[in-house]
């Protein structure tokens, strides 16, 4: 008997031929010539030592031996494919490790977790807050969400949405420093609230042509969200990302006395390219795309 690989190949050809009861139709489905299908069946019959088909003038019939073999083969193939489905579906359970910054988790991811649980009841999320990452291949994660340029070798990069930087403060603080009346000049007396990992304030000041030293009077925080919270408490003027401050501005909790600065970067979903097609990761990426489309 030939190798097991050849035997399986010929068994598959036999199964398709039974399904179609035509060597010609089987050849079309398998992208082979009709003579190649006929040859495979003949080789299989020789290996097994019995005929599988009675070859009529215009029609095929299974022999009793062929029918017995097909019944067994059909059950075996069904079992194999069911097992593959079970393996793939079971990969939509267990843990999915997500790495992201606090602001994105709070404003975009967490508000959607109720719906995610309904869609994927057997998938557990492990959300690790890490404000900045430098080398993705050194982190333990399945999916990451970050703002900035993370184009790196072997990393799948899916842009989500662009962002704008916007100075904000409490209405009381703006009134105290007369920011609406004095314009950019009013920033000479304010306390600047920074994220220590960001250069947004110097870049914004440069974009509006101001040479004010934003570090002369300042508070710095390792999390951008804390700078925004300090602004709500009238501790100074923060600069934040517009998408995640819109609700506070619309409610009147924060005031935006100055114009926004456009950026060339965006929030993005990241994962290692080698992991992208794993069922649970592919399903999560598809879910994120569906959320963005709403």
Domains (range + CATH), the chain: 4-90 (1.10.10.10), 94-162+266-293 (3.40.190.10), 164-263 (3.40.190.10)
**Coil/strand/helix, residue 192:** strand
Q: What is the pLDDT of residue 86?
A: 57
Of 35, 36, 29, the closest CA to residue 15 belongs to 29
The tens-digit pLDDT sequence of the chain (294 residues) is 446 677 888 888 998 899 889 899 989 988 889 999 999 999 999 989 999 999 877 788 899 999 999 888 877 876 776 666 555 556 678 889 999 988 889 889 999 999 999 989 989 999 998 877 767 767 788 999 988 777 777 889 898 888 888 999 999 999 999 999 999 999 999 999 998 878 889 999 999 999 999 999 999 998 778 899 999 999 999 998 888 888 899 999 999 999 999 887 788 999 988 888 888 899 999 999 988 887
Cβ atoms within 10 A of the Cβ of 66, count?
Answer: 22
Cβ atoms within 10 A of the Cβ of 272, count?
Answer: 19
Measured distance CA(225)–CA(105) in Å, rounded: 11
Give the single-character DSSP code of 108: I
Q: What is the pLDDT of residue 1?
A: 42
Q: Please say whether the beta carbons of 107 and 244 come within 8 A.
A: yes
Q: Please say whether the beta carbons of 183 and 259 come within 8 A.
A: no
Measured distance CA(221)–CA(294) in Å, rounded: 34
**Coil/strand/helix, residue 12:** helix
Q: What is the pLDDT of residue 76?
A: 80
């Amino acid at each position: 008997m030939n190798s097991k690989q050849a035997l399986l190949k010929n068994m598959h050809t036999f199964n398709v031929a039974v399904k179609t009861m035509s060597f010609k139709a089987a050849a079309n489905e398998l992208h082979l010539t009709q003579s190649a299908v006929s040859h495979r069946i003949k080789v299989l019959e020789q290996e097994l030592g019995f005929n599988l088909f009675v070859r009529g003038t215009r029609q095929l019939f299974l022999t009793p031996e062929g029918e017995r073999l097909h019944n067994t083969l059909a059950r075996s193939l069904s079992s194999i494919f069911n097992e593959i489905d079970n393996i793939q579906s079971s990969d939509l359970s267990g843990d999915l490790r997500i790495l992201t910054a606090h602001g994105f988790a709070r404003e975009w991811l967490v508000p959607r977790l109720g719906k995610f649980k309904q869609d994927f009841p057997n998938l557990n999320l492990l959300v690790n807050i890490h404000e900045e990452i430098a080398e993705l291949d050194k982190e333990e994660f399945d999916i990451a969400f970050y703002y900035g340029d993370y184009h790196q070798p072997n990393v799948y990069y899916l842009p989500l949405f662009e962002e704008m930087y916007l100075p904000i403060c409490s209405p009381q603080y703006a009134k105290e420093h007369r920011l609406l009346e004095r314009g950019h000049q009013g920033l000479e007396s304010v306390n600047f609230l920074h994220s220590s990992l960001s250069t947004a304030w110097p870049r914004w000041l440069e974009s509006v042509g101001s040479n004010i030293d934003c570090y002369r009077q300042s508070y710095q925080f390792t999390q951008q969200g804390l700078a925004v919270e300090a602004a709500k408490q009238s501790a100074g003027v923060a600069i934040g990302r517009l998408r995640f401050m819109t609700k506070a501005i619309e409610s009147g909790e924060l005031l935006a006395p100055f114009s926004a600065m456009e950026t060339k970067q965006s929030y993005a979903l990241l994962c290692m390219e080698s992991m992208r097609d794993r069922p649970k990761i592919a399903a999560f990426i598809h879910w994120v795309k569906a959320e963005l489309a709403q």
